[in-house]
């Protein structure tokens, strides 16, 4: 190839970009072109309109030799697909006439021509709309070529290719050197094009043609006029803008006029082929048309470089960009431009770097408030799809740009790479209000927005998103398919992840990281790339690999390993590099996708929940200000309150609008389903790490935890749980997917293998997933709940695991452990109630009831919780009653200072919130007691439990029915979930279900709350309110009488044993011991008292050292002495 020269004064000079004369043109009906137009009336198909033609098929069809030759037979076959009336007249002539014509052997490369030279010249003139014989209004007269033909016709051109080059060069030189006369002004329109109209700022605007069919501008416009892009819209070679309001501006200059002419002439070749497919399929005609195409493209390249006028700066936007955005270039035009220029590196850069920059600038101006966004995306996607052999030239060029993957310069590297990287502008398209306010302002700010309107708008915007992301996928996919750019693409993808690690933090500065819309677009593309990855090809050791692209800090919390254990194992692993295999694309893509989920979908979910919380708070504030207006409207603070109310309403509108936008971007079922499907794959990988035989996994898992699993980042599991919690609450229908079976197995396995995970709060989150999918909480997830309950591993292992965790959360190590445990236990109690209704779990429950220690610890915690929760909730009800009574007395209330009133109201609000929360938890624990005591009684009567349970029940009966029970009377008790009749019914049921001599003694031993008068009052209230049947009330009365008898005996015993020696008394409770045991510290205590202590804290009460029941030693000698002394006291009792 020759080096492209500068401006050419004569047509005889080489263009430097000429194509070999034997190379046929790309057929407009073939597969080697990339379409920039829509399907025409003649049936010309457009690759751009197809969703994603098979890339493999396209790659094969685009595969060529180094010289870019195309098989003429295939070209002929493709051109013959459309058979219409010939537009070329008198082309078939007799052999005798053909022999009379001048021999074309010297002029043509084709040996056996069926077309005369005159006919070929006629075809050339027709397509190029020129003449050197006479001037006419529909052609451009070429004076220079006319003079040459007049002097010596035989020496004007060596072959048709040379003639075409001379014609085009003379036309373009006439345009470039003419200051007044426009050579194109004589041409008239042949169709309804997108015309170039001159605007006031001396730029040309591509305007959609009018519906009447007339051109908006005539030749007098001083531009290419009505014929500027003639035939492009009507011939099928191009596609009009989708909206009449879409406007794309180009410079009003000589280059524009030249481009308009060359583009139209290129398209005219396609028109001729469609009009006469059979004739055009002849080798010599096909070659002639190919030469016209190639020469048009070669001269376009010269125009774009400024070779015919003045050189253009690479910083200037390419003149071709607006045509690409209008999607009005002929079929195969850009494909041919790439084909002809890509082997000349400098020429290719001069032409296509401005095009790439122009598309990036165009997309920055776009938003989802119109469909303009799709044009730069489609243009870039189609450029990247162009392939010759195994090379994607535009992909090579894009990744060679200095800003392909810029290095970070500041702490805000996440936002930096979004703003500066080449693809950043394309990935930044977003519907989120925080990223782009135009969408919310246009679609969700009207006064008449209805639910139906919102639904329709949301669906349309989600379709926009899907379309944009599909093109982004094509771009990145082609860059990855291109072997020369795959590494650069992976580096860019890894940089996007590594630069945004702060996005996963609970509190982060949004200005330092990429936006939610950007990250979700990137996630969507990665999900598509990962969709067909087979798990067998993924290396689970990748994040420990020395060549891992992802930055995973050693400080990142791991599932089981401590930092010291992690460092030790990593050092051991890296000692032998042969243990690592070369990272393959499936592995890298899988882990990039996993980490991108962590940085995209989950921060979005958290932001969505925070926004909803803020909306609720603002709503509450607005309602409170409105309701209390009567109190402040005449006060000095009235103006302040009105301003605050106005600000709250304004902010509320913004948040509601932002929520509507987030509903579009985040609550997209297709997106959430793909996330769930990918997390299912992650689950399979993790379960294979803990048990290689998965899905045939069994419990319990191997006691020796695999180090590769222990060293995994904790968020690999936590993200799954967090995502499920979000989906269940806001889009539960997504759970109806085949992959849910893996999710169920995952939850059951790790809830039942708590020793595999170091963080108890992570187990609690998995338990919470079971809770929120319970039909009592979310009816729409009943099927999921049934799958969990009936899972083979669940039936045998879930109940004991949950019971163990119920007791273990007493001590989590967190500062908030005391309050956290109530929520966790509430979740477990709800799950237990559901499991108890499933007969398949009854056997496991009964085993636990009868097994002893684990169940005893569970009951002890249940007693503790019930005691605290009922006490706190009833106390808060008393405070609510007190304030409500004060407010009822208006005279007294008005006398209080305003500050005191506000303080009391604030306290009332807090108490109402506390009461609702604690009553809900307390009701659940009492209900659990009610269920358990009905099924089994023995564990509740153990010496360490019976007295505590009886004391708790007595105390709460006293609260409900004692002398101060009126203090619990509040307005609208159902508002707080307070149902005193139901609570009394359940408490008295528990008494009756445990009714026996041992329990009666435990009741009598409670000297703090029990009294005969209390039980009489309980019986009276039950009768009056009809809470129980007469039979049940009678049974409760009999129990009361038994307790009274024991109370009388206890009184006598206290008199008998009051003078017991100190060595016979328990040092903690100062009561007479009946079964003394020695602690390792040497102290002696009563067995029942120390066992009760151990249920709450496994430590020695005297020195806080670890202590278990097995470490206690009986003291038989002391026990015998105590019992002897007791018998002596009883024998000395007077009768």
| Residue 451 counted as domain residue | no
Q: Are strands 140-141 and 130-131 parallel, antiparallel or unpaired?
A: parallel
Question: Among 1028, 1058, 1088, where does a domain finish?
Answer: 1058
Together in a domain, 22 and 84: yes
Cα separations (Å) of 1000 from 943, 967, 985, 1087? 13, 29, 19, 21
| Residue 35 counted as domain residue | yes
Together in a domain, 1073 and 973: no
How many other β-carbons are positioned within 10 Å of the β-carbon of residue 1007?
12
* pLDDT tens digits along 847-871: 888 876 788 889 988 998 988 998 8
Beta bridge partners of 1085: 1077
Together in a domain, 916 and 963: yes
Together in a domain, 1115 and 1037: no
Task: Tell me what pLDDT residue 248 has.
Answer: 64
Task: Tell me what pLDDT residue 749 has.
Answer: 97
Assign residue 43 a region: left if phi > 0, alpha if psi is -120 to 50, beta otherwise? left
Together in a domain, 919 and 996: yes
> How many whole angstroms separate alpha carbon 477 and alpha carbon 475?
6
Together in a domain, 1123 and 1019: no
Tokens coding 924: 């659940």
Over 227-239, what HEC string results? HCCCCHHHHCCCC
Buried b (16+ CB within 10 A) or exposed e, 136-173: eeebbbbeebbebbeeeeeebbeebbbbbbbbbbbbbb
Buried b (16+ CB within 10 A) or exposed e, 709-746: bbbbbbbbbbbbbbbbbbbbebbbebbeeebbebbbbb
Together in a domain, 928 and 1067: no
Task: Tell me what pLDDT residue 935 has.
Answer: 87
DSSP one-letter code for 244: T
> How many whole angstroms separate alpha carbon 907 and alpha carbon 891?
20
Together in a domain, 15 and 156: yes
Buried b (16+ CB within 10 A) or exposed e, 486-523: eebbbebbbbbbbbbbbbbeeeeebebbbbbbbbbbbb
Question: Among 1034, 1058, 1082, where does a domain finish?
Answer: 1058
DSSP one-letter code for 970: -
The 3-state DSSP class for residue 313 equals coil
What domain count does the chain have? 3
Give the CATH number for residue 1073: 3.30.40.10
Task: Tell me what pLDDT residue 448 has.
Answer: 63
Ranges of the chain with pLDDT below 70: 1-114, 178-181, 188-248, 250, 448, 852, 1053-1055, 1132-1135
* pLDDT tens digits along 989-1040: 999 999 999 999 999 988 888 999 999 999 999 999 999 999 999 999 999 9
Domain range enclosing 1100 = 1062-1131
| Residue 524 counted as domain residue | no
Phi, psi of 806 (to 5 degrees): -55, -40
> How many whole angstroms separate alpha carbon 99 and alpha carbon 384?
49
Task: Tell me what pLDDT residue 285 has.
Answer: 87
Nearest to 421 by CA among 406, 401, 400, 399: 406
Question: Among 1042, 1058, 1074, where does a domain finish?
Answer: 1058
The 3-state DSSP class for residue 672 equals helix
| Residue 122 counted as domain residue | yes
Beta bridge partners of 131: 141
| Residue 261 counted as domain residue | yes
Q: How many residues can be counted in the chain? A: 1135
Together in a domain, 166 and 48: yes
The 3-state DSSP class for residue 306 equals coil
> How many whole angstroms separate alpha carbon 773 and alpha carbon 728?
7
| Residue 421 counted as domain residue | no
Supply angle C-alpha 238, 243, 245, rounded to 5.
Answer: 120
Together in a domain, 1101 and 986: no
R_g of the chain computed on alpha carbons: 43
* pLDDT tens digits along 219-253: 322 333 323 333 333 233 333 334 433 446 767 78
* pLDDT tens digits along 456-494: 999 999 999 999 999 999 999 999 999 999 999 999 999
pTM of the model: 0.81
Contact, 743 vs 680, CB < 8 A? yes
How many other β-carbons are positioned within 10 Å of the β-carbon of residue 579?
12
Together in a domain, 1106 and 1021: no
Task: Tell me what pLDDT residue 756 has.
Answer: 96
> How many whole angstroms separate alpha carbon 481 and alpha carbon 473?
12
Together in a domain, 987 and 1010: yes
Supply angle C-alpha 1014, 1015, 1018, rounded to 5.
Answer: 90
| Residue 672 counted as domain residue | no
Over 23-39, what HEC string results? CCCCCCCCCCCCCCCCC
| Residue 593 counted as domain residue | no
């Amino acid at each position: 190839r020759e080096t492209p020269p500068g401006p050419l004064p004569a047509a005889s000079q080489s263009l430097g970009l000429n194509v070999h004369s034997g190379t046929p043109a790309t057929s407009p009906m073939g597969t080697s072109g990339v379409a920039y137009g829509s399907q025409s009336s003649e049936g010309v198909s457009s690759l751009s309109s197809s969703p994603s033609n098979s890339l493999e098929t396209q790659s094969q069809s685009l595969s060529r030799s180094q010289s870019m030759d195309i098989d003429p037979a295939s070209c002929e076959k493709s051109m013959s697909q459309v058979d219409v009336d010939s537009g070329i007249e008198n082309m078939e002539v007799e052999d005798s006439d053909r022999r009379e014509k001048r021999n074309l052997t010297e002029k043509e490369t084709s040996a056996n021509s069926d077309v005369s030279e005159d006919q070929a010249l006629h075809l050339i003139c027709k397509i190029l709309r020129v003449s050197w014989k006479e001037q006419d209004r529909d052609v451009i007269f070429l004076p220079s070529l006319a003079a040459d033909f007049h002097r010596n016709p035989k020496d004007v051109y060596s072959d048709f290719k040379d003639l075409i080059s001379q014609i085009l060069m003379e036309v373009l030189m006439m345009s470039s050197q003419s200051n007044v006369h426009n050579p194109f002004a004589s041409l008239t329109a042949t169709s309804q094009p997108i015309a170039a109209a001159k605007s006031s700022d001396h730029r040309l605007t591509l305007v959609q043609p009018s519906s009447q069919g007339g051109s908006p501008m005539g030749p007098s416009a001083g531009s290419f006029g009505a014929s500027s892009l003639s035939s492009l819209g009507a011939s099928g070679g191009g596609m009009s803008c989708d909206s009449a309001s879409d406007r794309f501006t180009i410079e009003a200059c000589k280059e524009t006029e030249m481009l308009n002419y060359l583009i139209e002439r290129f398209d005219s070749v396609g028109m001729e082929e469609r009009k006469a497919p059979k004739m055009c399929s002849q080798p010599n005609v096909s070659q002639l048309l190919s030469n016209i195409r190639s020469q048009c493209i070669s001269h376009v390249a010269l125009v774009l470089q400024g070779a015919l006028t003045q050189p253009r700066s690479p910083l200037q936007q390419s003149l071709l960009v607006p045509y690409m955005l209008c999607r009005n270039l002929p079929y195969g035009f850009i494909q041919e431009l790439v084909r002809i220029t890509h082997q000349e590196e400098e020429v290719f850069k001069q032409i296509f770097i401005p095009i790439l920059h122009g598309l990036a600038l165009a997309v920055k101006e776009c938003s989802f408030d119109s469909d303009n966004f799709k044009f730069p995306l489609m243009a870039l996607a189609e450029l990247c799809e162009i392939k010759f052999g195994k090379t994607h030239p535009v992909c090579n060029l894009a990744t060679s740009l200095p800003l392909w993957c810029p290095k970070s310069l500041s702490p805000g590297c996440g936002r930096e790479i979004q703003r500066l990287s080449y693809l950043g502008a394309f990935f930044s398209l977003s519907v989120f209000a925080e990223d782009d306010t135009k969408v919310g302002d246009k679609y969700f700010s009207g006064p008449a927005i209805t639910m139906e309107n919102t639904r329709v708008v949301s669906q349309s915007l989600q379709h926009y998103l899907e379309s944009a992301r599909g093109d982004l996928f094509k771009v990145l996919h082609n860059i990855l398919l291109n072997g020369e750019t795959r590494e650069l693409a992976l580096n860019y993808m890894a940089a996007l992840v590594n630069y945004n690690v702060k996005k996963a933090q609970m509190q982060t500065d949004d200005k330092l990281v990429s936006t939610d819309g950007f990250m979700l677009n990137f996630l969507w593309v990665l999900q598509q790339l990962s969709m067909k990855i087979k798990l067998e090809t993924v290396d689970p050791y990748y994040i420990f690999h020395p060549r891992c692209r992802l930055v995973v800090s050693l400080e990142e919390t791991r599932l089981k390993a401590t930092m010291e254990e992690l460092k030790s194992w990593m050092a051991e692993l890296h000692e032998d590099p042969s243990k690592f295999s070369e990272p393959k694309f499936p592995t890298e893509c899988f882990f990039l996708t996993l980490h991108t989920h962590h940085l995209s979908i989950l921060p979005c979910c958290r932001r969505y929940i925070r926004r909803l919380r803020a909306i609720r708070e603002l709503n509450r504030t607005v309602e409170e200000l409105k309701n209390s207006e009567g109190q402040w409207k005449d006060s000095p603070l009235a103006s302040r309150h009105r301003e605050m109310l106005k600000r709250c309403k304004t902010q509320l509108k913004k948040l509601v609008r932002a929520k509507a936008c987030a509903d579009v971007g985040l609550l997209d079922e297709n997106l959430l389903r793909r996330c769930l499907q990918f997390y299912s794959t992650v689950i399979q990988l993790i379960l294979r790490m803990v048990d290689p035989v998965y899905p045939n996994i069994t419990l319990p898992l191997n006691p020796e935890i695999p180090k590769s699993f222990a060293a995994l980042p904790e968020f690999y599991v936590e993200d799954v749980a967090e995502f499920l919690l979000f989906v269940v609450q806001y889009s539960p229908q997504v759970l109806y997917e085949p992959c849910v079976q893996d999710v169920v197995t995952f939850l059951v396995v790790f809830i039942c293998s708590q020793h595999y995970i170091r963080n108890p709060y992570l187990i609690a989150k998995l338990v919470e997933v079971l809770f929120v999918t319970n039909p009592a909480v979310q009816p729409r997830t009943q099927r999921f709940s049934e799958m969990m309950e009936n899972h083979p591993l669940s039936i045998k292992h879930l109940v004991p695991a949950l019971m163990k965790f119920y007791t273990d959360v007493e001590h989590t190590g967190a500062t908030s452990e005391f309050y956290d445990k109530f929520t966790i236990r509430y979740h477990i109690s709800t799950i237990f109630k559901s499991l108890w209704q499933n007969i398949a779990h009854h056997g496991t429950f009964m085993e636990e009831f009868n097994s002893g220690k684990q169940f005893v610890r569970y009951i002890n915690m249940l007693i503790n919780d019930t005691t605290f929760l009922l006490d706190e909730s009833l106390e808060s009800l008393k405070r609510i009653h007190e304030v409500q009574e004060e407010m009822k007395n208006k005279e007294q209330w008005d006398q209080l200072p305003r500050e005191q009133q506000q303080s009391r109201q604030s306290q009332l609000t807090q108490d109402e919130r506390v009461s609702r929360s604690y009553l809900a938890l307390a009701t659940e624990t009492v209900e659990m007691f009610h269920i358990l005591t009905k099924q089994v009684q023995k564990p509740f009567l153990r010496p360490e439990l019976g007295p505590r349970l009886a004391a708790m029940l007595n105390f709460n009966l006293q609260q409900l029915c004692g002398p101060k029970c009126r203090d619990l009377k509040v307005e609208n008790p159902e508002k707080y979930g307070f149902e005193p009749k139901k609570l009394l019914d359940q408490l008295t049921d528990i008494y009756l279900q445990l009714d026996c001599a041992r329990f009666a003694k435990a009741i009598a031993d409670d000297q703090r709350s029990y009294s005969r008068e209390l039980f009489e009052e309980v019986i009276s209230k039950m009768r009056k309110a009809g809470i129980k049947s007469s039979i049940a009330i009678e049974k409760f009365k009999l129990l009361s009488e038994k307790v009274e008898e024991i109370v009388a005996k206890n009184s006598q015993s206290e008199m008998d044993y009051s003078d017991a020696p100190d060595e016979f008394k328990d040092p903690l409770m100062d009561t007479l011991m009946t079964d003394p045991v020695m602690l390792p510290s040497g102290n002696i205590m009563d067995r029942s008292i120390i066992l009760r202590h151990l249920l709450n804290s496994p430590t020695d009460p005297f020195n806080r050292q670890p202590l278990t029941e097995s470490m206690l030693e009986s003291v038989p000698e002391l026990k015998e002495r105590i019992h002897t002394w007791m018998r002596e006291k009883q024998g000395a009792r007077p009768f």
